[in-house]
């Protein structure tokens, strides 16, 4: 792997355009990634890319007494190879896993959108089919506002003048379905 | 009151005809009096009845009786139901048209008899037909005691007069407030419908935005991850490079610094040596240096004096 080909020093992502496209749900993640990117970019931009060139010949002329020391320093400096390193393969695999996760997330969102669109269509069709509110008949109020009106012709409702919610569940009806109240334990049938 | 003041002197043989001009509040002058003439007591009452402001007022005061006899007409008619509106595809609109709510109640004659029961008579009997028919029917029922006018029946007159007074006096205000309450109720339901539809539209908008966001994330985030890792690697490498360069610089600087210090020390030492030696020579007058110096000074002075 050659060092020059793989080296990255600038960002290729248009952060502004990306942030405009994302919704509020994704903003924290984007901010975190942007922070990391700017931190590393800051370090990269503030430091030089390669080792500086030192003129050892001039130094040797300037400091003839330390010629041997300068020689050895020069040898060490020129033979030094700082390894660039590679990104561990596991991290790239993590990226692939993330891509799978995001694909699944997008698919779930599509399913939710489809279901929601069906519901939204139902709602819009319902109100398109309805007559104007001023011309509602009695059965229309029950049909279009079921939480506000009821029809005793086909609904079994217990009188609830104080609106404590007796008709919200069928618990009472289920409890007293056959009109039998709770017998006390010591009640007998023979007398 | 004698009528002589209104009757002119009769001619001989003429019948006395009294001309009594009818004076009523409606024939009083409609314009208010000019600034100098104040209207009289009864004129003021008449002006008040008409709703005309007095000369000292800019507008007539608001009164309970402003709306007597007015008919309330709703400012907006009820919306029309489309002619082809069907609650169900199989609805027969010809025989069973949609029962629209009419804006006004059906017409009645004498507040009792519907107009649709009277108009069929017009072709046969003319316009007086319905009144005669229903009047005659009432008279027949009364006469034959098929409908008994019982002892409380006298109250009917009073009740009818009472109803007419209330209707004419307060009907306008009652209708106005009822209309307002009705509009509020209708607006309540319309708001519920609007919220439902708004939710549907908002849902579509938000889900489309989220779809686009997820697509952008899918396109860009892997690149960002890889770029971040590459930048981190590059940063680490540059830090290492910087460390090496710094260490070398430290060593070279050390060498240069020591060399400079050594040279400075040598120079200082040499200078000190030279200056001390010269001073000692001067003090001990080694080789008659003082005499030689003095002689040199005198000769220079002589040269100076000759040149000037």
> Mean pLDDT for chain B?
89
| Partner A contacted by B237 (CB < 8 A) | yes
The answer to whether B112 and B91 are in contact (CB under 8 A) is no
| Partner B contacted by A41 (CB < 8 A) | yes
Output the pLDDT for position A5: 41
Tell me the residues of chain B between 52 and 81 that have a Cβ less than 8 Å away from chain A.
78-79, 81
Taking CB atoms and an 8 Å limit, are A18 and B216 in contact across chains?
Answer: yes
Phi, psi of B4, rounded to the nearest 5 degrees: -65, -25
- Please report where in the chains the tokens 């792997």 appear, as a residue: A1
Nearest Cβ partner for A127 among B197, B233, B238: B197
Q: Provide the residue ranges of all domains of chain B, joining segments of one domain with +.
A: 239-307
Query: Smallest CA–CA separation between B262 and chain A, in Å?
Result: 11
Query: Smallest CA–CA separation between A157 and chain B, in Å?
Result: 23
Here the tokens at position A115 are: 């279901």
Sort out which chain B residues have CB atoms less than 8 A from A92's CB and list them.
Answer: 226
Output the pLDDT for position A177: 84
Distance of CA A117 to the CA centre of its chain: 21
Nearest Cβ partner for A133 among B190, B231, B242: B190
Residue in B19, B23, B15 with CA at minimum distance from that of residue B7? B19
| Partner B contacted by A79 (CB < 8 A) | no
Establish whether this prediction's ipTM goes over 0.85.
no
Residue in A30, A6, A33, A5 with CA at minimum distance from that of residue A18? A30
pLDDT digits (tens, 9 = 90+) for B13-40: 556 555 565 655 555 555 554 555 789 9
pLDDT digits (tens, 9 = 90+) for A8-20: 778 888 899 999 9
The percent of residues in chain B predicted with pLDDT above 70, rounded, is 88
Sort out which chain B residues have CB atoms less than 8 A from A66's CB and list them.
Answer: 255, 259
Task: Check residues B275 and B111 and name the one with the higher pLDDT.
Answer: B275
Sort out which chain A residues have CB atoms less than 8 A from B256's CB and list them.
Answer: 59, 62-63
Nearest Cβ partner for B228 among A33, A127, A133: A33
- Please report where in the chains the tokens 């009640």 appear, as a residue: A187
Question: Model's pTM, two decimal places?
Answer: 0.63
| Partner A contacted by B42 (CB < 8 A) | no
The answer to whether B273 and A78 are in contact (CB under 8 A) is no
Count CB atoms within 10 A of the CB of residue B47: 23
Question: What distances in angstroms separate CA B94 from CA A61, B90, B98, one per listed residue?
Answer: 117, 12, 9
Query: For residues A131-145, b (16+ Cβ closer than 10 Å) or e, as one string?
Result: bbbbbbeeeebbebe
């Amino acid at each position: 792997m050659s060092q020059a080909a793989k080296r990255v020093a600038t960002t290729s992502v248009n952060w502004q355009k990306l942030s405009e496209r994302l919704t509020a749900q994704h903003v924290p993640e984007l901010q975190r990634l942007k922070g990391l990117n700017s931190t590393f970019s800051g370090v990269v931009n503030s430091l030089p890319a390669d080792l500086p060139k030192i003129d050892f010949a001039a130094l040797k002329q300037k400091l003839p007494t330390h010629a041997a020391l300068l020689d050895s320093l020069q040898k060490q400096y020129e033979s030094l190879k700082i390894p660039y390193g590679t990104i561990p393969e596991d991290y790239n695999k993590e990226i692939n896993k993330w891509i799978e996760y995001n694909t699944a997330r997008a698919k779930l969102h599509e399913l939710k959108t489809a279901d929601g669109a069906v519901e939204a269509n139902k709602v819009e069709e319902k109100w398109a089919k309805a007559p104007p509110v001023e011309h509602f008949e009695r059965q229309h109020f029950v049909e279009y506002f079921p939480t506000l009106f009821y029809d005793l012709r086909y609904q079994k409702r217990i009188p609830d003048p104080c609106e404590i919610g007796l008709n919200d569940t069928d618990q009472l009806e289920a409890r007293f379905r056959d009109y039998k109240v709770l017998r006390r334990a010591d009640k007998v049938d023979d007398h | 009151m004698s009528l002589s003041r209104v009757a002119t002197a009769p001619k001989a043989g003429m019948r006395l005809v009294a001309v009594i001009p009818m004076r009523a509040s409606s024939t009083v002058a409609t314009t208010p009096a000019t600034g100098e003439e104040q209207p009289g007591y009864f004129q003021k009452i008449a002006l008040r009845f008409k709703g005309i402001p007095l000369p000292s007022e800019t507008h007539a005061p608001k009164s309970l009786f402003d709306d007597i006899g007015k008919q309330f007409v709703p400012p907006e008619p009820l919306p029309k139901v489309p002619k082809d509106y069907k609650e169900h595809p199989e609805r027969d609109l010809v025989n069973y048209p949609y029962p629209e709510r009419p804006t006004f109640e059906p017409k009645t004659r004498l507040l009792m008899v519907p107009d649709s029961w009277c108009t069929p008579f017009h072709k046969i009997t003319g316009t007086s037909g319905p009144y005669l028919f229903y009047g005659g029917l009432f008279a027949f029922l009364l006469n034959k005691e098929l409908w008994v006018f019982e002892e409380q029946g006298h109250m009917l007159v009073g009740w009818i007069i009472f109803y007419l007074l209330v209707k004419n006096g307060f009907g306008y205000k009652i209708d106005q407030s009822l209309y307002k309450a009705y509009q509020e109720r209708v607006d309540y339901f319309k708001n519920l419908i609007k919220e439902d539809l708004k939710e549907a539209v908002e849902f579509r908008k938000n889900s489309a935005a989220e779809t686009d966001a997820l697509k952008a994330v899918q396109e860009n985030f892997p690149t960002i991850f890889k770029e971040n890792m590459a930048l981190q690697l590059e940063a680490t490498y540059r830090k290492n490079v910087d460390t090496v360069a710094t260490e070398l610089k430290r060593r070279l600087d050390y060498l240069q610094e020591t060399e400079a210090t050594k040279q400075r020390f040598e120079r200082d030492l040499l200078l000190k040596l030279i200056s001390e030696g010269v001073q000692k020579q001067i003090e001990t007058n080694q080789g008659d240096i003082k005499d030689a110096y003095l002689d040199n000074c005198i000769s220079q002075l002589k040269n100076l004096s000759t040149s000037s």
